[in-house]
Amino acid sequence: MEEIRRAAAAYYQNLPEEKKRYARFVFSEMDKNGDGKINLKEFMEYLNKDNNSALNNPSFFRALDKNNNGSLDFEEATVLYYIMQSGRALFCKSCNTFLTDVYFSCFHCFTSKDSTVSTYEICCDCFRGKKFTHHDDATFCDNYTLLSQGRSLALAAPPEKRNSVLKKIEMTVGVASVALRRAAGAFYEQLPEKEKKAARKAFKAMDKNRDGQISLREYMKYLKKKKVTDLTHQSIFRALDKDDNGSLDFEEAFLLFYIMQSGRGVFCKSCTTFMPGAYFSCSECFFRVDSESTYEICCDCYGGKRYTHHGGATFCDNYTLLRQSRSAMQEAPVTKRNKVLQNIEKPTRIVILVTGILSLIRDIGGDKNKSDGDNSSGPDCNMM
């Protein structure tokens, strides 16, 4: 939930003054007794009136109530406003848990031409424990992978469709690390036994002295050999080192492989921080065929307006971008969708993952090396 709070705060800070006033108007509409707080009854009544039954339950109210005092102040209610505007109101199709961070979706359903088909989102715990029932040929991937791989689908859609989705995003924005480990764990549990053995073999290739641990030196040497220079920063190694003992065991090292294959190796274009959770992207750049970079920035830089990009840029968080771009992805040719599906299925074979990693992270390496240029005028956008 903390990732959503940070994204909501950044979203609100970047609203024009008139939109902030509208957000406060919505708050006052909910606050029937005018005491500056929203109690559970007011919360339920407002959502019933708004026909928003999906969010209308006490457990969700408690999740919004950060200080656990039984009511929502304006800051806490802003999170609700953000969730409603951005399409973040997602619940696990198996256990009905509100999905606050990483989740898995069925690629076939997400890209189906039939928009009435559910995208079948499930939480990491249900995916890991295989506690779900879906069609036999389902291919699941996490929401970050779906967004990174799905961009090529969106770009294959007709220009008028891309422009239509972009306008919809602009209207939405105008009106309105633990998770990463869990996702990696769920991904590993779904691998066939043969591929789990391949993953351990890859780990041994990094572990040169055979002590069952990956030292910083072994880590740096392996990534430099693979020419994956963007992940050689010591801060990334420390982030992977969960128990802070100066080395990586298999579980910690597998997180590295997962980041590399899923497109999760995203760094803020402003402060170069590794972004394991929510971040904001330029929607115009996302839908431009001639734009290599989608100009991702962290919640702190977006909220503090510590970035420089082209004039008229419309930013939205990665969750909103994925949900809103689905219709554009659906317009892509079948042959293109099948090609992207193959790209998504390939990473489940760890041997391909480790040996073919350069093609998967080409954009990450190229963009991060040009971060100084991005901050000056945003040349990666190729805006004419």
- Tens of each residue's pLDDT in the chain, 384 residues: 777 888 888 888 888 787 788 888 888 888 988 899 999 999 988 888 877 777 777 778 888 998 899 999 999 998 888 887 776 677 888 888 888 777 888 888 888 877 677 788 888 889 888 888 898 878 888 887 777 677 677 777 777 777 776 665 555 444 335 666 766 777 777 777 887 887 888 888 889 999 999 999 998 888 888 777 767 767 678 878 888 898 999 888 888 777 766 555 677 888 877 776 678 888 888 888 788 778 888 888 888 888 888 887 888 888 778 777 777 777 778 787 777 777 666 544 333 333 233 233 333 333 434 333 343 333 233 222
Give the pLDDT confidence score for residue 247 in this predicted structure.
92
Q: Which domain holds residue 295?
A: 143-384
Helix axes 193-206, 250-262, angle to 10 degrees: 100
Which residues are within 8 A (CB) of 332 and not within 5 positions of it... i.e. 6 or more apart?
111, 153, 154, 156, 157
In the sheet with 103-106, reading across from the earlier edge strand, the strands are 122-123, 103-106, 140-142
Using the 3D structure, point to which of 37, 68, 86 is the last residue of a domain: 86
Using the 3D structure, point to which of 70, 86, 102 is the last residue of a domain: 86
- Is 57 part of a structural domain of the chain? yes
Q: Give just the sign of the alpha carbon dihedral 124, 129, 131, 137.
A: positive
Q: Same domain, yes or no, for 57 and 155?
A: no
CA dihedral 240→245→251→254, nearest 10 degrees, is 40
- Is 107 part of a structural domain of the chain? no
Domain count, the chain: 2
- Is 103 part of a structural domain of the chain? no
Q: Same domain, yes or no, for 72 and 152?
A: no
Q: Same domain, yes or no, for 266 and 372?
A: yes
Give the pLDDT confidence score for residue 172 in this predicted structure.
46
